[in-house]
Chain A
Amino acid sequence: MEHLEYRMEAPDGKTVAVKPFSLVGVVASANLEVMLEIVPSEKACVFLIDTAAKGFEASWQAVVRDFMDRWKPAGLKVSINDNAASPSVVSLRLDQAYEALTGE
């Protein structure tokens, strides 16, 4: 298992949550679970990733950056348990989780 953490500053970001947390996906083969929570005092977004696929740091950084660009969120704590999902599945789950959290 590999543990990765990213802190993404979001000075112009904004997130309005309709519930305390969202959780999508499941930790099955080639899948992952993504949990989003709001940290009210924070502007930055924190990503806590535990992944069974080692050595894909660059790929994770890219997916995280794309997510931040796409939604411009703020004050998120993103927790991930990954069982070797592909980057496109990771992106999909992040989007699903954000939509569930914000009711979009």
Chain B
Amino acid sequence: MNLQNIGCNYLEASARKRLEGILDPGSFRELCPPTEKRISPHLHYFDIPVAFDDGVVTGEGTLDGKTVAVIAQEGRFMGGAIGEVHSAKIVGLLRRCLAKKPDAVLFLFDSGGVRLQEANAGELGVAEIIRAILDVRAAGIRVFGLVGGSCGAYGGAGIITGCCDALAVSEEGRIGVSGPEVIETNMGVEVFDSRDRALVWRTFGGKNRYLQGQVRELVEDSMESFRQAAIRLLSLKPDYSLDQLEAEQKQLEERAEKFAGCRDAVDVWRKLGYPSPENIPSLTVAELKSEGGAK
């Protein structure tokens, strides 16, 4: 147990604090640190202040003694949005793994997606990140995603989570493509009220994703829980193959068929076999897992 994690939650911690809390104490070395001042070359056109690390921390360290390469997005800078420098740091870190061959990559997501002020660079950056992640996986190195920050993983970031070997997500973590406001605009507030926090969490949150089998580890919002979940993920075998994608196709087709027409997670959970699905949001992670876990 990492003693400095006692009493620390994950949601409110900065990107660097999360890395310090998850990695073995003192093992973290930052690559392209903020002292390099690799700032956005484009934000000044929009009169927006830059960040010295452009909202993402990249580096390496150890987790339970195993070497890991790490990426941690800072959700409080522009909503963790992905621009040219931000995505280049991630791509560089991933491509570096092909030579350095760490045991695994940990990607701490906290991003609403592409940065509009650098939309094209962000969009291409997402595609380059996906390609680089798959190159790393094809080389037999596992890539694990952690989701539990205030921005969750939306848009391009949401898509990237689906390209990882496995995910650890807290109840507070959210994953999606279009955000709640966009769904409300498209479907009307009667169908989806983006200000209904309970609804947003039921729809996009870690519990729903976990119960549907999209997420491997559901954790509480504490630094130590995330650390322990990441250590457990390290024991997973890599598998990026046509066989695995065919199995995934079957799972995805079954899910689409089984829950066709469902508009609320409660209906999904009822069909999954939970007798009192409306109680699920109030269960702790431990209580939920003892109810039988993901079906």
Instruction: Report the nearest A residue to B79, measured CB to CB.
Output: A28
- Most chain-A CB neighbours within 10 Å: which of B33, B47, B49, B50? B49
- How many chain A residues touch B (Cβ–Cβ < 8 Å)? 18
Taking the closest CB of chain A, its distance from the CB of B275, in whole angstroms, is 43
Interface residues in B201-252 by Cβ distance below 8 A to A read: none
Is B260 on the interface with A (CB-CB < 8 A)? no
A81 pairs with B50, CB closer than 8 A: yes
B52 pairs with A81, CB closer than 8 A: yes
Neighbouring A residues of B74 by C-beta, 8 Å: 26
Taking the closest CB of chain A, its distance from the CB of B20, in whole angstroms, is 12
B35 pairs with A27, CB closer than 8 A: no
Neighbouring A residues of B51 by C-beta, 8 Å: 26-27, 33, 81
Neighbouring A residues of B77 by C-beta, 8 Å: 26-28
Interface residues in A27-70 by Cβ distance below 8 A to B read: 27-28, 31, 33, 35, 37, 50-52
Is B44 on the interface with A (CB-CB < 8 A)? yes
Interface code B49-60, partner A: CB below 8 Å = 1, 0 otherwise? Answer: 111100000000
Neighbouring B residues of A31 by C-beta, 8 Å: 76
Interface residues in B31-54 by Cβ distance below 8 A to A read: 33-35, 37, 44, 47-52
Instruction: Report the nearest B residue to A32, measured CB to CB.
Output: B49
Main secondary structure of the interface of B (DSSP, over half): loop
Taking the closest CB of chain A, its distance from the CB of B45, in whole angstroms, is 11
Instruction: Report the nearest B residue to A50, measured CB to CB.
Output: B49
B49 pairs with A51, CB closer than 8 A: yes
Neighbouring A residues of B48 by C-beta, 8 Å: 1, 52
B44 pairs with A21, CB closer than 8 A: no
B50 pairs with A50, CB closer than 8 A: yes
Cβ 8 A contact of A81, one of B16, B47, B49: B49
Neighbouring A residues of B52 by C-beta, 8 Å: 23, 33, 35, 79, 81
Query: If A26-B77, A28-B77 touch, does A1 touch B49 (CB 8 Å cutoff)?
Result: yes
Residues of B near any A CB (own CB < 8 A)? 14, 16, 33-35, 37, 44, 47-52, 74, 76-77
Q: Can you list 26 A-B pairs, Cβ within 8 angstroms, ordered by A?
A: A1-B49, A20-B35, A21-B33, A21-B35, A23-B52, A26-B14, A26-B74, A26-B76, A26-B77, A27-B49, A27-B77, A28-B77, A33-B51, A33-B52, A35-B34, A35-B35, A37-B35, A50-B49, A52-B47, A52-B48, A79-B37, A79-B52, A81-B49, A81-B51, A82-B49, A83-B49
Closest 7 CB pairs of A and B: A26-B76, A28-B76, A27-B51, A81-B49, A52-B49, A83-B49, A21-B35
